[in-house]
Chain A
Amino acid sequence: MLSREEWLPLARKLDWDYSYVREDEVFPEVISGRPWLPHSEWKDWEESFKTSYREYIDNQYEKDMAVQAVHDAVGRIENVQKLALPWLNSLKVHAAALPLAEFTGVIGNLRGARFGRDSAWRTMATFGALDEYRHTQIPLLLFHPLLRLDSQFDWAHKFYHTNNWFAVAARHFFDELTVGQNAIEFHIATNVVLETGFTNLQFVGLASLARESSDHMFERMVTSIQTDEARHAQIGHPVLATVMKHDPKYAQYLVDKWFWRNWRLFSILTGLSIDYLTTPDQRPYSFKEFMEEWIVDQFLRTLDEFGLEKPWYWDLLMDELDIYHHMIYASAYSYRATLWFNFVIPGPAERKWLRQKYPKYWDDMDAVWEQISERWRTVGPGAENELAVHGTAMPTFCDLCQLPLSAGTPRKNTARVLVHDGRKYIFCSEPCQWIFLHEPERYANHKDIVKRVLLGEAPAQLPNLLTDYFKLTPDTWGKDVHHGDYEWLLARKDSAA
């Protein structure tokens, strides 16, 4: 029998020359991706971490056992009940956004497993698909039983099957990233940009946040997932290196496009979790500090490694670190019934912390929170007053990222209207418009929530929109965690009286 060192090099490379069909029929450009190159240009494709199927299964088994052990020890409902309420809602965000997004990663990896241009790439993508199954099943296993604690955890299964506005945005992103993507763009966008650029490091950061919040089950889950990400994220690097060699302009475009698209979603999921849904004494850093230390530095090193330039919108993105997720959070708070998790108003101590961390624009954000607080003071606390402290007019959404038009600053929103082929579109920012204009045939027919309402495809009245279209119920729609009953808020009212 061959030793591992003898067998693996033979098993990794199983390509052959076709005699009955042409190579471009086996790997059509439309699904394998571009630039289309003969296999001779891909034959040196090499993963930096090599594994066999047996080693893979042994490792995954050990990791699954470790997750199960932590779940048995600290994952029961009584353990979760002890978590701080804001953090519990961060869990609900991730419980919904994560599992089925990971499942779309299965589809993308299986496309690589069939249409990747070298056999070693295809084998690694097969492992990647198995990883993503695991990343679907683990959060469903851990989160869905929490339904008995809180009906909002039902959204772990339900989220992507609804037309909730955030689900529409997330589907728009993942459908393009993974489900409907060719193998080359999938592996660059997912492995190099999303995983190397964001989630691999995000999971390290999330694990430390979870640890600070005494949530050891979530900490173990994301750590376990992160170890898979670190391995399969490597698939994209030799793909990008080959594209860079043959079509550097296209390589730059893919990286620029996907870094922006990833940033939009990431800043919401992680920005809100760090700066608002973790209690202040448990925040090891601000979201901006996390981005600068973990994401920005690493991404710039990756660009350097491949000889790529910084994206053209880099200064704009750096400026957004100070404001975008704050505008989204305040928007979402004032439309919280449109979501499946609960919110908290930052009190005076938190606002002082936020001002320290985000001095550039915090004055404008503080004025918004003061006005919302004033509404609670006027109507008084209580679940029955939730909708009196809630937006009534229809918020608006970007025709590219499908997220609220909350970019720029409160003083100057950067939304821009574009007429294209006789139709009017609106984008939250210049990069979203730039992406649209590069591939309008890909995006032009998608309708955001506002267009659906105006065309009569979705209800115009908020209560009907929430229940009939977003599939929320009075039990599950988002609320203020304290229903406006904050000591600091009422104390100010007493002192005013």
Chain B
Amino acid sequence: MPVPLYGFLQGDVVGLLILADDADTLEVLARKLQDAASLRVAARDRVRVVYNDKTMDLTMTVAQAGLQALDRFDVISG
């Protein structure tokens, strides 16, 4: 099920709308955001996903992490 999220990539100048699937892992979610921002920020190999001020396990899915429509998540270096 699609979940629209506000994604903020460290180093970028604007937040982006990322359409995630609730079955996406957070690793996939991070990659989606990095791809979406690649015009402005070079992709990094090691990143973390932060949600509600907590670093999340990248193997969790969007649903397992509790991310809901129009929540904010951050992808930061790692």
Residues of A within 8 A of B70 (CB): 417, 424, 426
Residues of A within 8 A of B41 (CB): 367-368, 371
Residues of A within 8 A of B16 (CB): 393-396
Q: Could you tell me if B8 and A364 are in contact, using CB atoms closer than 8 angstroms?
A: no
Q: Which of B22-78 contact A (CB under 8 A)?
A: 36-37, 39-42, 69-72, 74
Q: Does A10 contact B (CB under 8 A)?
A: no
Q: How does the 8 Å CB contact mask read for A407-424 relative to B, with 1 for contact and 0 for none?
A: 000111101110000001
Residues of A within 8 A of B36 (CB): 391-393
Binding site for B on A (CB under 8 A): 326-328, 330-331, 334, 364-365, 367-368, 371-372, 375, 389-396, 404-406, 410-413, 415-417, 424, 426, 450, 453-454
Residues of B within 8 A of A424 (CB): 69-71
Bound-state CA distance A367–B42 (Å) is 9
Bound-state CA distance A411–B4 (Å) is 23
Q: A371-B42, A375-B39, A393-B36 are contacts. A404–B72 as well, Cβ < 8 Å?
A: no
Q: Could you tell me if A395 and B15 are in contact, using CB atoms closer than 8 angstroms?
A: yes
Q: Does B20 contact A (CB under 8 A)?
A: no
11 residue pairs A–B, Cβ–Cβ below 8 Å: A331-B14, A367-B11, A367-B41, A372-B40, A395-B14, A395-B17, A405-B15, A406-B15, A410-B13, A413-B8, A415-B72
Residues of B within 8 A of A372 (CB): 39-40
Known: A334-B14, A393-B37, A413-B15. 6 other contacts (CB 8 A): A367-B41, A389-B39, A395-B14, A396-B14, A406-B15, A415-B6
Count residues on chain B whose CB falls below 8 Å from chain A CBs. 23
Q: Could you tell me if A411 and B11 are in contact, using CB atoms closer than 8 angstroms?
A: yes
Q: Interface centre among B14, B18, B42, by most A CB within 10 Å?
A: B14
Bound-state CA distance A389–B42 (Å) is 14
Looking at the assembled complex, report how far the CB atom of A62 sits from the nearest CB atom of chain B, in whole angstroms.
46
Q: Could you tell me if B17 and A396 are in contact, using CB atoms closer than 8 angstroms?
A: yes
Q: Which residue of B lies closest to A450 (CB)?
A: B17
Q: Could you tell me if B39 and A405 are in contact, using CB atoms closer than 8 angstroms?
A: no
Q: Interface centre among B11, B13, B16, B36, by most A CB within 10 Å?
A: B13
Q: Could you tell me if A410 and B10 are in contact, using CB atoms closer than 8 angstroms?
A: yes
Looking at the assembled complex, report how far the CB atom of B32 sits from the nearest CB atom of chain A, in whole angstroms.
9
Q: Could you tell me if A327 and B39 are in contact, using CB atoms closer than 8 angstroms?
A: no
Q: A368-B40, A405-B6, A424-B70 are contacts. A393–B11 as well, Cβ < 8 Å?
A: no
Q: Which residue of A lies closest to B18 (CB)?
A: A393
Looking at the assembled complex, report how far the CB atom of B8 sits from the nearest CB atom of chain A, in whole angstroms.
5
Selected contact of B40 from candidates A330, A394, A450, CB within 8 Å: A330
Residues of B within 8 A of A389 (CB): 39
Q: Which residue of A lies closest to B71 (CB)?
A: A417
Residues of B within 8 A of A326 (CB): 13
Looking at the assembled complex, report how far the CB atom of B62 sits from the nearest CB atom of chain A, in whole angstroms.
16
Residues of B within 8 A of A413 (CB): 8, 12, 15, 74
Bound-state CA distance A6–B4 (Å) is 69
Q: Could you tell me if A334 and B39 are in contact, using CB atoms closer than 8 angstroms?
A: yes
Looking at the assembled complex, report how far the CB atom of A438 sits from the nearest CB atom of chain B, in whole angstroms.
22
Bound-state CA distance A330–B4 (Å) is 24
Q: Could you tell me if B8 and A415 are in contact, using CB atoms closer than 8 angstroms?
A: yes
Residues of B within 8 A of A395 (CB): 14-17
Bound-state CA distance A280–B69 (Å) is 44
Bound-state CA distance A406–B69 (Å) is 20
